[in-house]
Amino acid sequence: GTTSACEALGAGSRAEVVPSTEATPSDTATLEERVERAKRLVEERRLQKIKEEEEAVRQSEIKRRRVARELQLAQESREDKQRRELARQRAQDKEEERKHRERIQAQIAQDRADRAEKYHKEKAEEEQLKRQRETQRLLEQQQKAVQEAAARSQVARIQFRLPDGSSAAHTFDAAATLQDLHDYVVETVQPSFSNFTLSTTFPRREFTQEQYQSSLRELELAPSAVILVVPVSTPSVVVPAAVSKSGASLMNLLWSLLTPFGVIWSLFVGLIFGSPDPPVSAPDSSTSAQRSDQPSFGSQEQQQAQGGGTPTAHSTAAAG
């Protein structure tokens, strides 16, 4: 304090040597007053310096706090941005994972459906092939049975059916020829027409002149068959081709529709008349023809051989 006062006093002394034309308070002030005044100045400067230092410290603290706050805000902003980015990435990953699972599940379901469809398709094809093979086997067995029955049979029970609904039955020797059947129709059945053809429905056949010398066994008409006696046009009558074809188609349709009734009628005849008549090698006038005036039930041969129960070929309708 003394040093500061002395410095202030020295400063005051130096200030006094400055020439001045005006009177100042220091000119008349005493030394003590000057010292006191110097002390006050020193104290004021000290206080001012302290105040400035405190203000500087305060401003520095404010600046530090502001910078720290800005850094904190920046850090929080970065962290918030990182959190949002992380949340977005997680949501995106979760969505992609969900879509991936859905694609996998859809692929699994599609594969399962494809396998099921393939399995059912293969099974259906296998079942169809199995049915076809079984049908073919049964047909072969039936055909073989028919052939064996025809080969074993010594007689052929033939039922003749005419367009007017009448019928006649006779038992022939299995070695008899188709010509014998033709002669029997002419001599015994005696239809109202002279020109006719002989045919069957199952299998559908219209016998030709070349087959008239074949035996009934060879033609698979044994042990039983139904023969249709179908009239044909005489040469003197000219029938337009379209009309003839239409009439033939109509007759074929009629015989086809009436065929199921022929089955019932054949079975009925078999039950009524029982076993066939004794075989003959050729027809004669003494043979009794069984005639009826009932409506035509179609044409079909009997399904069983006498005693053996073997199916035979069915009858067929043919156009004249």
Give me the numbers of helices (H) and strands (E) for the chain, helices first please.
5, 5
**Is a pLDDT exceeding 80 seen at residue 227?**
yes
Instruction: Judge whether 138 lies within some domain.
Output: no
Q: Within a domain: residue 174?
A: yes
The pLDDT value given to residue 233: 76
Longest distance between any two alpha carbons in the chain, whole Å: 198
Q: Is residue 291 part of a domain?
A: yes
For residues 117 and 272, the model is more confident at: 117
- pLDDT tens for 45-94 read 999 999 999 999 999 999 999 999 999 999 999 999 999 999 999 999 99
* CATH label of the domain that carries residue 302: 3.10.20.90
| Structural domain boundaries enclosing 191 | 153-320
pLDDT value at 148 more than 90: no
Does 233 map to a domain?
Answer: yes
Amino acid at residue number 139: L
Q: In the prediction, which pLDDT does 304 show?
A: 36
Is residue 258 situated within a structural domain? yes
For residue 260, being part of any structural domain is answered with: yes
The overall average pLDDT reported for the chain is 75
pLDDT at 15: 43
- Asked, for residue 142, whether it belongs to a domain, the answer is no
Q: What's the mean pLDDT in 31-42?
A: 92
As for how many domains the chain has, the answer is 1
What gap in Å lies between CA 282 and CA 181, rounded to an integer? 8
The tens digit of pLDDT for each residue in 254-311 reads: 666 665 566 566 556 555 654 444 433 344 433 433 444 433 433 333 333 333 333 3
- Does the residue 296 lie in any domain? yes
Neighbours of 159 (CB within 10 A): 24
Q: Does residue 35 register a pLDDT over 70?
A: yes
